[in-house]
Chains A and B, each alone.
Chain A
Amino acid sequence: MKAHDVVIHEADATRIDAVLQRFLGDSSSAAALLIDRSGQPLAETGTARTLDIGSIGALAAAAFSSTAALAQLLGESEFSVLFHEGVRESMHVSTVDEQTILLAIFDERTTIGMVRLFAREASRAIGVILEETRKRPKRVGALAAPLTADEARRASDHRPA
Chain B
Amino acid sequence: MSIINYAAKVINFKVVYYGPGLAGKTANLQYIHRCLPETSKGKMVSLATGDDRTLFFDFLPVSALGVRGFTTRFQLYTVPGQTHYNMTRKLVLRGVDGVVFVADSQWARLRENVESLRNLDENLKEYGLALAAMPYVVQYNKRDLGPVAPLDYLEYLLNRGARRVPSFEAVAVDGTGVFDTLNTVSRMILVKEFGQAQEAHS
Chain A residues proximal to chain B, CB less than 8 Å: 1-10, 12-14, 36-40, 42, 52, 54-55, 58-59, 62, 65-66, 69, 138-139, 141-143, 145-149, 151-161
* Contact A147/B32 with A1-B127, A37-B94, A156-B189 known, Cβ cut-off 8 Å: no
Inter-chain contact A13/B7, CB cutoff 8 Å: yes
Within the assembled complex, what's the spacing in Å between the Cα atoms of A142 and B180? 28
Q: In the complex the two chains form, what is the Cα distance from A142 to B179 in whole Å?
A: 28
Q: How many residues of B contact A (CB 8 A)?
A: 60
Q: Say yes or no: is B91 at the interface (Cβ < 8 Å to chain A).
A: yes
In the complex the two chains form, is B56's CB within 8 Å of A62's CB?
A: yes
For the complex, give the distance between the alpha carbons of A65 and B94 in Å: 10
Are B127 and A54 neighbours in the complex by a CB distance under 8 Å?
no
Given contacts A3-B127, A9-B6, A69-B91, contact A158 B195 (CB under 8 A): no
Q: Closest 7 interchain pairs by CB?
A: A38-B95, A13-B7, A146-B195, A156-B186, A160-B35, A2-B128, A155-B67
Query: Which stretch in B18-26, B57-65, B103-111, B154-162 binds the other chain?
Result: B57-65
Inside 8 A of B91's CB, which chain A residues have their CB?
A: 62, 65-66, 69
Nearest chain B residue, comparing its CB with the CB of A142? B68
